[in-house]
Structure formats: structure tokens, C-alpha cells
Structure 1
Amino acid sequence: MNTRVYIDGYNLYYGCLKKSPYKWLDLKALFESQILPSVYHENSTPQLLNQGIKFFTAKIVEKAALDTNSTKDQETYHNALQKHLGDDLCLYEGYYAVNKVHVYQVQGNTLPRDCDRVEIWKLEEKQSDVNLATEALFDVVTQQDLEQIVYVSNDTDIAASMIKVREYNKIRVIQGWSQVRIGLVIPTKPATDPDDEETRRANKTLSELADWTVKHITKEWLEKSQLPHKVPNGRRPATIPTSWHPESEMFALVMEELGKVHSLSESWQWLATTKPNIDGLIDLTLVTPLDALRTTEGAIGVYDHAKAYVEYKINKQN
């Protein structure tokens, strides 16, 4: 079944990725190897078309970013995605509007109209949801070989697009084309606590318009769908930002240690190759330091390896 996936990047980030170690996400792997096989039997897993992943996002506004590295980290990720996925990905960028607005201040149980008005900064993403809805509908109207579309959003703004797709399916039948199935993936974490404000429930309106719904994205799926730590990108490969690493603190310490004797590129090369077995240290003969760094125990072991290696190199130089 020829399929295309339409991802609301804002929804995905705030529903699944914020404060998680899985931001370095391979979107194609997530859907092709995890989510879609969970919906269909193995012998009928959908096939992604060219530009099978359409990703709708917006550049972070530097003056409103909470982290000074946010804009650079996002740019690095987008470059890595585009280089790694090539023609399988199409990235659409909207923008953030930052404006001063006056709003009513909450003052106990006082009605909003009777409260004082205060001036705040309002950060609002523009175009992404509209672009997503429009692009999905356009593909259904113009592409005969398209058999399934998957919306990745929990935003009711896409409901109109889903309704029009269902209506246009009648015309596709008249044209001799197959009807397009509608999938819906709610980009949110599984509910561990129903009262948790950060846990979002599947939008009932959207689910009723879809042929099938995946109500959350699991930690296991995200963990199995990470990009390589280092993605080739000409002379300057795109590397995972230190703060995005699953074991970010230990990763930073390892890189700092290796930096005493190696350049950045040499440090990455050291991380990407297996090591000889050394008594008293973690076994890295079959697993690279990069792979071992994904767990706390492994990260500690890699740090010990790096310290021993650096000490050996310094002593040898002396």
C-alpha cells in the first residue's frame, strides 16, 4: 500500500520529544519500521512513496529561545535529517511570530472581563498546520498511485482536510483510482498518569475521521529510531548535539577527555571503533563506544576507557 506520512513537527516535539533523549529522531525509521508495522500484519506493511515523509516545522526564534544553543541544534538536526533521508524526506518550514499582546491576568475567581490587563510576549507558530493540511489534500487529488495518507497531529485544524479527503475519495472511484485510506498517529506519550498535564489524549473528532488511529508513540519506538550519531554532510558532518545525547553529561565528559589528545574528528573516530579487551574495563570488543554510550552503565564504562586511553597516550608522548 503506497503511503505518505505528514508530520506536524510542533505537535511531535511537545507531545513526545521535549525533555526526552530521543530528539535525534529518524522519522522514516520510526514510521517504516515501528509504527506502520504495528498497525498492519507483516506481510502487508505499507510502502513509503518517494518523499514518503513530509515534515512540517518552523525555525526557532533566537530571541525567544530558552536555550542559546536551540537554533543551532535545530539546524543541525534538520541538516542531518535531509542528508540521511535524501529523497525520502520533504521538509516544509513555516515561521514563529513573536508579538507583544495584552491579555487578562488571572486574579483568583474574578471574571476575565474584570481582571487587569497585562502585556506579554506571545510566541505563535505560523503556517505549519495549514501547509500540512493543504499538502495532504493536494496529494490525494493529484497522485493516482497514493493509497494511504497518515496524519501525525492532535490538532483539530486538520479535521477539515480529513473530511475533504473522505469526500474526494468518491471522485477517485469515478476516476478509476483507488480510495485513499486515512491513518492518524497522535504524537503523545503513553499515559502513565491520567492527571498528568503533559499527557495529551487522542482527539476524538480526528479519530472518528480516520480509518485507524495510533493513540501514542512509545519510548521503545523512539529509542529504536535514532539517527546515527554522526551523519555525513560534506566536509562538516552533522553530529548529535551534546545535550541531545541519551547520556548527555557522561558524553560531554568523554568528549572533554578525548579532546586532551585528539581533535574533534579524531575523537569521533575513536568513539566509532571497537576497542581491545583491557582487564578491569568494560568490554568494547564487539560494541563501539558510541553504542555503549546509550546506557548509563555503558557510558560510565566508556568514560573509564577514555581516561585510560588518554593517560596511555600522554605517557607515551612523554
Structure 2
Amino acid sequence: MGTVAAYIDGFNLYYGMKNKYGRKHMWLDVVELVRQLRPKDTVAAVHYFSAIVKNEPAAAQNQTDYIEAMKLRNGAVLNVHLGRFKDRTIKDCRRCGQSYTCNCGRAYRSYEEKGTDVALGAMMVADAALRIADTTVLVSADTDLAPALATVRKVNPAQRIYLAMPPGNTRASSHLTSIGDLGQFFIREGALRDAQLPNLVADPATGRSYNRPAKWI
């Protein structure tokens, strides 16, 4: 028995689930997921890092409702940290030099998530230094988080660290495991299935309710 603090890379987990299982597990209670992954530990804190999508109003509303439902369900245990999306113009083709355009002649644009990796790494290190919990669980396969893991090990050598690999990953990157003395496991579908929010999450104080989106069934 111990305490656990979890740090969830929301988009890394989202795309892993979507690529492997479609949208059927998207209405996921991330705090309950951590309890499923570490059933003998007490959950001290769960930090969820994401960003609200741009220029897709319906998707943004689904995402906002989902986050509000999780916050209502879990109270102070869940900490949500939102980054932002930055416009990015897709560069010219490296092979032919031509720009990517649609039929109307406009250049394709995409969006780049900013701020979440740095925030996640900083929070993970700070909590380890403050001894918030004796076990750290990182839900991500992002190799950019390797320096933060290494720093956790330096500031608190006794900290237990586990990598919880999102669906679709076959193994942890050597950039992550090179930190040494890390546990690792894969998030199985059964844990996702057992950690779903109720289809309707209601707030008795305000009368507001949040429904599982029809596309997420």
C-alpha cells in the first residue's frame, strides 16, 4: 500500500485509444483509470494535460463537457491543465518543392499543441520534490518527457516511477527506459472499459448535466 500521483498526457492517450479502439472508450474517467492501474495504492493526485481543439465547435464542446464531467466526478483529486493550439502552415513538399493546397488554392493549415509537455514535466518534478506521493505514474509514450523523468529520479531517488503505455504501443522507447529503474506496463482495454464515466453526469448544485457524446459510444 502506498500513494500515487499520476500525470496523463491527454492527447497521447486519446490518439492511442482512437487508433486502437475507435471512440468507444473516450468517456474515460482518468482518476478511476489510475485506480484500476494501481488498485493497492491511494490516489493522491491526478494531473490531466490537454488542449481544446480549434475551429471544430462540436468537437470542442464534447471535449469541454468531458472535462467538466470528470472534474465534477472527482473533485480536488483531479487537476486539469489546458495548453493551447498554435496555427501551423504545412511546409512545401520536400520532394517536388510545391506547396500543399486544396482545390480553391488555399494553403493547407494545421494546428500544433503547445505547452502541455513542459507543464507536465514541470509538475511531475515539482511533486516529486515535494513528496506528494511515493509513486509516480506517467501515462504517455512521448520521448520528450525523458528529461523530466530523469530529473524526478535526481530530486527524489527513492521515488517509484512507472510508465503506463497508452494503447497501440508495443514497447516503451529506449529514451524513456534509459532513465533506469522504471516499471512499465501497457494499458489494457479492460482497464479502459471499467473506468468509464456514467453516461450522464449531473451537478445537483447547478442543475447542469453532461452527457456522453453519441459519437463516443
- Structure-1-length-normalised TM-score: 0.60
Aligned pairs (5 A) from 1:3-152: 3-17=4-18, 19-32=22-35, 34-37=36-39, 45-49=40-44, 52-61=45-54, 63=55, 65=56, 69-104=58-93, 112=94, 115-119=96-100, 120-141=108-129, 143-152=130-139
1:184 aligns with 2:163: yes
| 2:105 match | none
Please give the root-mean-square deviation of Cα atoms over the aligned residues, in Å: 1.8
SS of 1:85 mapped into structure 2: helix
Identity of aligned residues (%): 28
Cα distance, 1:205–1:226 mapped onto 2, change above 3 Å: same
* Alpha-carbon contact 1:99-1:121 (below 8 Å) kept: yes
Aligned match of 1:225 in 179, 195, 213? 195
Residue 175 of structure 2 aligns with an amino acid whose one-letter code is T
Change (3 A) 1:205 1:24: same
Structure 1 residue 212 corresponds to structure 2 residue 200: no
Aligned to 2:150: 163
- On the 8 A contact 1:136/1:161 being kept in 2, the answer is yes
Cα distance between partner residues in 2 of 1:145 and 1:155: 23
Compute the displacement of 1:89 (Å).
0.1
Query: Is the CA contact 1:102–1:117 (under 8 Å) kept in the aligned structure 2?
Result: no
Gaps (5+ residues) in structure 1? 38-44, 105-111, 171-178, 190-198, 246-318
Count of residue pairs brought into register by the alignment: 204
Report the CA distance between 1:201 and its aligned residue: 4.0
Q: How big is each residue's C-alpha offset from its partner over 1:121-158, in whole Å with a ceiling of 9 and x where there is no partner? A: 132110111110011001112x2352111111111111
Runs of 4+ in 1 over 6 A off after TM superposition: none
Gaps of 5+ in 2: 101-107
| Structure 1 residue 48, shift from structure 2 partner | 1.1
Q: Hey, which of these two has a bigger chunk of helix by percent?
A: 1
Tell me if structure 2 keeps the 8 A contact 1:2–1:48. Answer: yes
Out of 174, 197, 209, the residue aligned to residue 237 of structure 1 is 209
The equivalent of 2:103 in structure 1 is: none
TM-score (norm 2): 0.87
1 or 2 for the larger relative contact order (CA 8 Å, sep ≥6)? 2
Asked which structure has the greater CA Rg, the reply is: 1
